[in-house]
Every structure is written in C-alpha cells, then in structure tokens.
Chains A and B, each alone.
Chain A
C-alpha cells in the first residue's frame, strides 16, 4: 500500500513538474519570478504587483493550455490502451475508428463550406463529425460481422473504410474552397493546435480524461481478459458484447471530445500504450495510470516544443508528436524484438 502511495505521489510530482515547465516556457520570455508571482497571486492569494498581460499569459493562456494538453494526452493514451486490448491489434489507435477523419470533415464543413454561417464553431462541427463517423463505422462493422464486434478485424476494416470516406469528403470540400488561406487554416487545425484553448476547455477535457480513466480502471480485469481474445474473456465470465460496446463507446467519446478541442493530434494513442507496456508490463491495473501519465507529460512536452522550436512561429503540435513519436516508436519496436512488445 505504501509503495502504491509513493508511486502515486511520484507520478503526481512528475505531472506537476511538466505542467510548471509548460507554464514557464512559451513564445515570449517571462522571468521565472514573474511566473512564480502569478501562480502565488492566483493560487495562494498573494498580492505581487504583476503586469496584467503577463498575469493573463501565465494564468489564462499557458496554464490552461498545459492542463488541456495533459488531459488530452492522458485521454488519447487511454483510448489507445482500450482499443489495443479490445481489438488485439498492436496498431490499433483512436484514429483507426475513423473518428479523426470524421472530426476533420465536421470542422471543414463548418469553416470552408460555411455550414452554420459562423454561428457553429469548428469545435462543435468536429465533435459532431467525430460522433457521426464512429456511428457509421460501428454500424458497418456490426452489419459486416455475424457476431457484431466480436471480431476485431471487422471494426479495423470498417474503420479504414470510414477513414477513407471521410478523408475523401474533407479533400472534396477543401478542393472546392475559395482560397489557399482557408486550406492552410484547416490544415493547421487538422494537425492539432492548442493556441485557442482556455479555462472553459480545461474542465471538459480533464473531466473526460478522468471519467475515461475511471471506466478503464473499473474494467481493468476485463481488459486483461480481452488481451487473450474474446473467447477466453467469455470463458472467464466477462460479459463480452456489453463490455465491448461500453469500452468502444468510451474510447470513441474520449477521442471525439479531445479531437474537437485541440484538433487531430496523432501518434499519442499508438505510441504511449506501447511505451507504457514496455515499462510496466501488460496488466491494465498498472498500464492505465502509467499510460495516462506518460500521455499527459508527452503532450505537454510536445506543446512546449511546438511553441519554441521556431521563434515567433507556432508549429502544429501534431507535427511534433509525429516527429518525436515515430523514432520513439521505432526504438521501442527494436528494443522489444522477441520480447513482449
């Protein structure tokens, strides 16, 4: 018990350090003392005289951004854990279900095709697109398989078909768009961008990430069972169809919410569960919290890099997650040859 408490405290400390770094490092240079004073003013009620712009940058922009990055990283990593276990596919990740492609279509419909005429934001469009895509993919998988979602391969194939369909729709709308500026705006958003997040997004993303963790933790043993296949899980007394539905819905909703807030950030759901499995093994009781923590720290770090790599310019965070994630993934694969990865 003491060991668990110590590990939990260490994890929280690591997360706090990552969030602090996310707050301290940004596009412009702020003195560490200013950062400390702002945090002390806001959290401890201190009354340091701080420039209101600096105060706003630290508290409203950077802290909210770091917390949303942490929540999205944790949420996407958990979605990856669920899908890889349920589908028994090492390459399974949230985007496989066509959720990202659907979110992209929804966002593009709003911003390029003018659906909602400015009244509906891209975030709302992305959420509806993501949910529609997942519903379509799930229906297709259900119709294709005699046993519903019993066969992981069917939903993987349905996801690929759905992704292709929605990617084609996105391309069609962008091709018909009026200007290169719009195409650039959409591309930037599709590759992920945290610049627009504020405190209101923090509550939603943190809530969804925590709920996702709770659902996973509650079904940790069932997820262990699914790793050995649906028949083994059924033999162990797991209500296969019901849990498959619940867990798939959880993964889909987590991804839809995260993608709608920050755009389509790839690689987190694919890489992090593998990296976590390499460190703590395949048991979900450990795998879930460790994946969530690693996802959170990874996305905060990627966001800091995206803001500071080119001075005066912010890169889409998806570019960083792919540039960092791909070599890490390759390293994990190479180190794990013949091992458990």
Chain B
C-alpha cells in the first residue's frame, strides 16, 4: 500500500517532466506568421511586461538580454533576475536599441509595438535581420489591431490565448515541462477562485471596473465586455454593468451611477500620467462627487483595489481573479 502510494506520488510529481523535448526544427503559427526555429533561441528581447514576466516564470531569465514597456514594478519573486537584465526603455524602445542586443527572438506584448503599424518596427523588419518575432496571441487572436486607437476586439478575450503563449514560448525554448506546470498551476488557482464564489448569496452580484480617466471627473475608462477585465468579471459570475463590447470604453458617470453596481473595482498603478492613475484620487472622487457618493458600493465601501497589471492578458491575471474573488467574499455584498 505504502509502495503504491509512493509510486503514485512519484508519478504525479514527474508528470510535468513527462513532456517531450522540443523537436527542432520547430515550426509554429503565431498571429498570422509562420515561425521556424532550428534551435532554442540563445537570447531574447522583450517588449512588454507580460512577456518579460512569462519568460522569468519559465526560468528563462538568463536568456533575456533586454526588457522594455513596463507598467509597474516587476513581481517581487523575479526582482533578483530582473536586476541583472538591462532595461532598454520604460516605454517603447527604439528599433536600434532592440537589434543592438543582437537577440535571436523578440517577444512583444502588443501589435502596436511590433506589428503591421508597430511603433518599434514591423515583424518583417526584424525578420529581414534574421531576428525571429513572437507576438502574444492574447493581443492578436480575436482582435483587429488596425482599427481603433487600442485595436478592436472582434471576439471576447479567451484565456486559452494566455496558456497558448506560455506553451508556445516553452516549446520554442525547449522547456515544455515548465510550461505545462505553469499552465496547470494557473488553471488550478483560477478554478479555485471561481469555486469560492459559487454561493447563492453572491449570485447576481454586479460590478464595474474603473481603470483610469484622462481627467479626474470626465468619462472614465471602464472594463467593457470583451476585454481581459471583462473576462475576469464574467468568469467570476459578476455581472459587468458596462454593456459596451469594447475592451476599455469610456462610459459616463451618469450611466455608472444609475446602474449602481454591487461592487466597484479600481485599478492601482505606479504610472502617474493622469490624476486618476492614483487610486487614492479615484477613491477621493468617488466619495466627494455629488452623484457617485450616493452609489451603494461607495456608501457601503464595497470598493476593491486591484493591481493594473492583473487586468492584462498576463500570468498576473490570476492574481487579479483571486483578489476580486476574495474581496467579493469578504464584502458579502447583498445580491442586487
């Protein structure tokens, strides 16, 4: 019996390692491009925090030769690795700064950075220099980045695009077992958070998620239906009072106040370009404004503060789902 149990637990712990090694040459489809790799890339430059932290989580920090486009501080568990990697730019790096690192691969979070109209460069420009490019599927699958300022989602965000990017990067770098383990961990954590909220008392709770605003009292950027944040609310069974299909539509305070959601979620970020980037200013506005101060969520302090990075198509999204689920449980808001 003891032997059987030992053998079973050994099998379980070895399961992620059972993933096969990558067969090179590797060919895979990525955002309308066919990528070919003869071997695992020796080094990569990342444009976007999501891809950077994904590579760190896959244990590939030593392969990252430069990072850029940071929204917040790096996750604490990756600080030691990140300190050793040159930061090419806090925002978009120049084309030459990227190629100057002689990377074998460029991993980009957004197509507006590297894509048909990419501000850093087009994928072809990198390919001409024999530098492979990888774009995050979460930003191109079900999304048209050639329309609208932030691109337009043609289909709702699908979390499988996040898992796909982890698995494909793991495959490219020949660390498939680590990729599978990471995906498994994220899936399990999300499922646990969702299960926690399956209480009848919390059924039909509504929510609104305020990211930021171009100026404090004007129409705020709210989570729409089709974006990552919209997916998070939907997955948790919270009714998003913003009905727009857009990812981050601007919605009037009049509409939000009239919908009177059970809970308000506000984003916390280090960025300080708009006054409303500061979550304390957001709270101050909500409590002072003659209309919003009468909202149930404000009067009863049913306000949750979530890290802005947890609202992106990144591994941090699960942190956000856990945070919102936990807050909903603690707030125990009555069903509306």
Mark A residues whose CB is within 8 Å of B. Answer: 26-28, 52-53, 56-57, 59-62, 111-112, 114, 117-118, 121-123, 177-189, 193, 195-196, 198, 307, 312-314
Contact = CB atoms under 8 A, between A and B. Distances in A.
B254 A27 contact: yes
Given A117-B272, A181-B150, A189-B214, A53 B294 contact: yes
A313 B244 contact: yes
Contacts of B250: 188, 313-314
Contacts of A198: 217
A107 B97 CA distance: 30
Contacts of A59: 290
Interface in B221-257: 221, 242-244, 248-255, 257
A324 B217 CA distance: 27
Most buried by A among B91, B249, B255, B281: B255
B267 to A, nearest CB: 12
A56 B272 contact: no
Contacts of A195: 217-219, 252-253
B216 A121 contact: yes
B112 interface: yes
A49 B296 CA distance: 18
Nearest to B150: A180
B277 to A, nearest CB: 7
A121 B275 contact: yes
24 contacts: A57-B291, A60-B289, A61-B254, A61-B291, A111-B215, A118-B272, A118-B273, A121-B216, A178-B90, A178-B92, A180-B149, A180-B150, A181-B212, A185-B221, A187-B149, A188-B250, A189-B215, A189-B218, A193-B219, A195-B252, A196-B217, A312-B249, A313-B250, A313-B251
Interface residues of B, number: 44
A183 B278 CA distance: 19
B51 to A, nearest CB: 16
B145 to A, nearest CB: 9
A184 B273 CA distance: 14
Contacts of B251: 312-313
A185 B274 CA distance: 10
Interface string B283-298: 0000001110011000
Given A111-B274, A180-B151, A312-B243, 4 more contacts: A27-B254, A122-B215, A123-B215, A177-B91
Contact of B291 (A53, A122, A180): A53
B189 interface: no
B39 interface: no
A196 B216 contact: yes
Nearest to B247: A181
B260 interface: yes
A27 B255 contact: yes
B213 to A, nearest CB: 8
B201 interface: no
Contact of B272 (A114, A122, A179, A186): A114
Interface string B105-125: 000000010000000000000
A62 B255 CA distance: 12
Interface in B2-21: none
Contacts of A27: 252, 254-255
B110 to A, nearest CB: 8
A265 to B, nearest CB: 14
B258 interface: yes
A113 B289 CA distance: 28
B336 to A, nearest CB: 14
Contacts of A178: 69, 90-92, 271, 273
A188 to B, nearest CB: 6
A184 B90 CA distance: 20
Contacts of A52: 294
A56 B149 contact: no
Contact of B215 (A121, A307, A314): A121
Contact of B214 (A26, A60, A177, A185): A185
Contacts of B252: 27, 195, 307, 314
A313 B249 contact: yes
Contacts of B217: 195-196, 198
Contact of A53 (B215, B221, B260, B275): B260
Given A57-B254, A195-B252, A122 B273 contact: no
A118 B294 contact: no
B314 to A, nearest CB: 15
A52 B260 CA distance: 12
A144 B248 CA distance: 48
Contacts of B215: 111, 121-123, 189, 196
Given A57-B254, A118-B277, A312-B251, A111 B272 contact: no
A152 B202 CA distance: 69
Given A61-B254, A186-B214, A195-B252, A314 B219 contact: yes
Contacts of A187: 149
A118 B215 CA distance: 10
A309 to B, nearest CB: 13
Interface in B138-185: 149-151
Nearest to A56: B291
5 closest A-B pairs by beta carbon, nearest first, are A185-B214, A56-B291, A196-B218, A178-B91, A184-B149
A55 to B, nearest CB: 8
Given A60-B290, A114-B273, A53 B257 contact: yes
A118 B270 CA distance: 12
Contacts of B218: 189, 193, 195-196
